[in-house]
């Protein structure tokens, strides 16, 4: 599926403008600067189609991309920038909450976590939303090249442990580096399987 051309087809600021569901969707979420654009680029090998960080924290739209005829990749707006205004935060919450809790075609949310920093409060808030909506999600540790391998393993274990009584999480944690390419192929395999569900 990742050999297909990536094609942007819709952007939504409010849930009423979500495009109709006709394909299985895999969404990508995480704090601003977590490495989401880099990962989308590494996964699809189509640099430039998905823009790397414009103004962090200001892209408050959900962007929908078709990856060939069988799968849709969805880029959720990044969160957690300290200077994001309260109303920006509320708009984000409304939009992402609507998406993760009502979207019928949504098969999986990939929640990206920076290996060095681990999970923060906003990550937990999103996890709570998904647990309540029974939306399947999995944790992707990014930028694994920035810490020692032992610390990557420790971080993964810590997260798996903290989520072990959650019902909608899909374990294990996936570890990737868009910079070194580590883990990218196996993440492609995991995602391709989901799209076929
Ligand atoms: P986004 O805001 O989540 O879309 O994050 P970006 O993909 O724009 O990445 C944010 C910053 O992290 C940029 O400076 C990237 O070069 C850097 N970055 C992204 N992925 C990696 C990675 O795997 N390793 C390292 N060392 N840096 C990365």
Domain ranges (residues) in the chain: 6-196
Mean pLDDT of 8-29: 94
ipTM above 0.95, yes or no: yes
Q: How far is the CA of 35 from the centre of ligand 1 (A)?
A: 4
Residue of 38, 113, 184 with the most ligand 1 atoms within 8 Å of its CB, for mutation: 38
User: Is the CB of residue 135 below 6 angstroms from any atom belonging to ligand 1?
Assistant: no
Rounded alpha-carbon distances, angstroms, from residue 189 to 15, 31, 129, 176, 184 = 30, 24, 27, 13, 9
What pLDDT is stored for residue 50 in this prediction?
63
CB-based contacts of 191, cutoff 8 Å, min separation 6: 1, 2, 26, 43, 108, 110
Phi-psi region of 57 (alpha: psi -120 to 50; beta: other; left: phi over 0): left
CATH number of 6-196: 3.40.50.300
pLDDT band at 47 (very low <50, low <70, confident <90, very high): low
pTM of the predicted structure, to 2 decimals? 0.94
What pLDDT is stored for residue 133 in this prediction?
95
pLDDT in tens, 25-38: 999 999 989 999 99
Is 134's pLDDT higher than 70? yes
Residue whose C-alpha is closest to residue 106's, from 141, 136, 67: 136
Residue of 32, 34, 35, 145 with the most ligand 1 atoms within 8 Å of its CB, for mutation: 35
Q: Does residue 94 or residue 116 have the better pLDDT?
A: 116
d(CA 137, CA 133): 11
DSSP state at residue 67: E
């Amino acid at each position: 599926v990742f050999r297909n051309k990536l094609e942007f087809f819709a952007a939504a600021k409010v849930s009423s403008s979500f495009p109709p569901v006709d394909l299985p969707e895999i969404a990508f979420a995480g704090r601003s600067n977590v490495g989401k654009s880099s990962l989308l680029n590494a996964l699809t090998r189509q640099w430039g189609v998905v823009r790397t960080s414009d103004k962090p924290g200001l892209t408050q739209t959900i962007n929908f991309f078709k990856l060939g005829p069988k799968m849709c990749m969805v880029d959720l707006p990044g969160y957690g920038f300290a200077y994001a205004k309260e109303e920006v935060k509320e708009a984000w919450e409304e939009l992402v909450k609507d998406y993760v809790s009502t979207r019928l075609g949504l098969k999986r949310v990939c929640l990206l976590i920076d290996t060095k920093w681990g999970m923060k409060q906003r990550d937990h808030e999103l996890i709570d939303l998904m647990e309540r909506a029974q939306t399947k999600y999995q944790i992707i540790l990014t930028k694994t090249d920035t810490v020692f391998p032992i610390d990557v393993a420790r971080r993964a274990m810590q997260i798996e442990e903290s989520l072990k009584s959650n019902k909608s999480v899909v374990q294990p944690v996936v570890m990737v580096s868009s910079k070194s390419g580590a883990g990218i192929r196996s993440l492609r395999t995991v995602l391709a399987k989901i799209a076929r569900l």
